[in-house]
Amino acid sequence: MMKATITEIFSSIQGEGLYVGTKQVFVRFGGCQAACCWCDTPAQYQKVKKYTIEDVFKKIFVLRSGCHSVSLTGGEPLLQSDFIKELLPYIKKMRLKTYLETNGILYQELQKIIKNIDIVSMDFKLPSSTKSKAYWKEHKEFLKIARTKKVFVKAVISKDTQVKDVRKAISIIDAIDQRIPFILQPNYKENVLALKKCLEYHQMCQKTLTNVRIIPQVHKILKIR
Ligand code: SF4
């Protein structure tokens, strides 16, 4: 029987991106292959449990009241794409939308499940923000697949984010569709300094892209999950 490594399943409001304020059931998968310097999830990996499809279905069923969608989040959910592929039809049967929150790297895994995904919240990992490696090729391939559904791109902006990384992100989005929403998310640990950078880059992005927004992590401000 297929099992997934999951840290928690709960309902709350979405705190990031274009669907901020939307009530969702969150299924948080354990594990991630990226290494962002601000990541707060490694500690949660130690609390993971194994769930069957039936376990997850039952939890979502109990929590689903008033929810718009089920957020498959992490960690990186696409590391467990085979499990997600099996799970998605059950979520659809509950008449809930499927919302994928992903680091935007594993495009081959995305291809396996995209048919049953409604919304993709995709990160661009800017190396000067994450202090980690670049994934430009992966992000480009990923966005090509994701754009067949509702998609928006989100990038964390810190005081160290370099203009060349933002330019590269703009060029990838522009080459695919300049109307894809691009969200600049100020690093919550830096507040004013990160917001200043966001305002600077917002102006630059708007010269090419048609839907650019600055949206902070509302759940961090409200101190909720
Ligand atoms: S992609 Fe998300 S879960 Fe993975 S290291 Fe970065 S912040 Fe952490």
Task: Tell me the per-residue pLDDT of 73-97, one tens digit each, with 9 for 90 and over.
Answer: 999 999 999 999 999 999 999 999 9
Number of domains the chain is built from = 1
**Residue 223 pLDDT:** 86
Give the nearest ligand 1 atom to 32 CA: 4
Q: What is the pLDDT of residues 22-62, one digit of tens each?
A: 999 999 999 999 999 988 766 656 688 999 999 999 999 99
Q: How far, in Å, from the CA of 100 to the mean position of ligand 1?
A: 14
For a pLDDT cut of 90, what percent of the chain falls above it? 89
Q: Which residue has tokens 């067949």?
A: 148
Q: How far, in Å, from the CA of 102 to the mean position of ligand 1?
A: 9
**Shortest-distance Cα residue to atom 7 of ligand 1:** 39
Mean pLDDT along residues 133-154: 98
Residue 222 has pLDDT above 90, yes or no: no
CA gap 129, 204 in Å, rounded: 17
**Shortest-distance Cα residue to atom 6 of ligand 1:** 36
CATH code, 105: 3.20.20.70
Which domain does 37 fall in, by range? 3-222
**Residue 44 pLDDT:** 58
Edge-to-edge strand list for the sheet holding 69-73 = 49-52, 3-13, 23-29, 69-73, 97-102, 119-123, 150-157, 182-186, 212-214
Mean pLDDT along residues 186-213: 95
Confidence of residue 221 (pLDDT cuts 50, 70, 90): confident
For ligand 1, mutation pick of 32, 100, 121, 133 (most atoms within 8 Å of CB): 32
